[in-house]
């Protein structure tokens, strides 16, 4: 399978996870439940392990490093509940959350080569509006 396609698929998981986190937060604010938080713990482990394993096969050293960090970020995210991060002091909790949520930014880097290859346009011109647009679509009602 083409490396660019695999990185795109891994990055798309990060984008979908980002969108579903926004949706979950909105549902929680409205007092409704949503299936994603329970399911996500398991999917993050799987995608995190796949990313870590696949990072050993990535040809470019910078993308190899980003793919490994992406996998570690997803694994950290899946351990948030079992580690009881919510009970940690504020500084430790914030540091952990920065690490665990870095998958969002790293997914941009993973998708960039495929976006560039498919469109010929700088990936930033497509991916940043995509993420910001998703945020606006989910939270736009809160003006």
Sorted by sequence, the CB contacts under 8 Å of residue 38 that are 6+ apart come out as: none
CA distance 113 to 102: 19
Against a cut of 0.85, is the pTM above it? Answer: yes
Range of the domain at 94: 3-139
Sorted by sequence, the CB contacts under 8 Å of residue 18 that are 6+ apart come out as: 104, 107, 131, 134
Domain count, the chain: 1
Answer whether residue 143 shows pLDDT above 60. Answer: no
Answer whether residue 44 shows pLDDT above 90. Answer: yes
What pLDDT was estimated at residue 139? 84
CA distance 123 to 140: 24
């Amino acid at each position: 399978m083409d490396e660019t396609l695999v990185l795109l698929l891994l990055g798309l998981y990060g984008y979908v996870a980002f969108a579903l986190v926004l949706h979950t937060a909105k549902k929680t604010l409205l007092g409704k439940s949503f299936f994603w938080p329970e399911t996500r713990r398991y999917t993050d482990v799987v995608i995190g392990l796949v990313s870590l394993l696949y990072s050993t096969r990535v040809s470019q050293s910078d993308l190899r490093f980003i793919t490994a960090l992406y996998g570690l970020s997803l694994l950290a995210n899946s351990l948030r509940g079992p580690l009881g991060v919510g009970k940690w002091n504020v500084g430790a909790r914030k540091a952990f959350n920065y690490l665990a949520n870095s998958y969002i930014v790293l997914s941009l880097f993973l998708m960039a080569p495929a976006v560039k290859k498919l469109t010929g346009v700088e990936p930033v011109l497509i991916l940043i509006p995509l993420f910001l647009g998703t945020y606006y679509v989910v939270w736009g009602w809160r003006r």
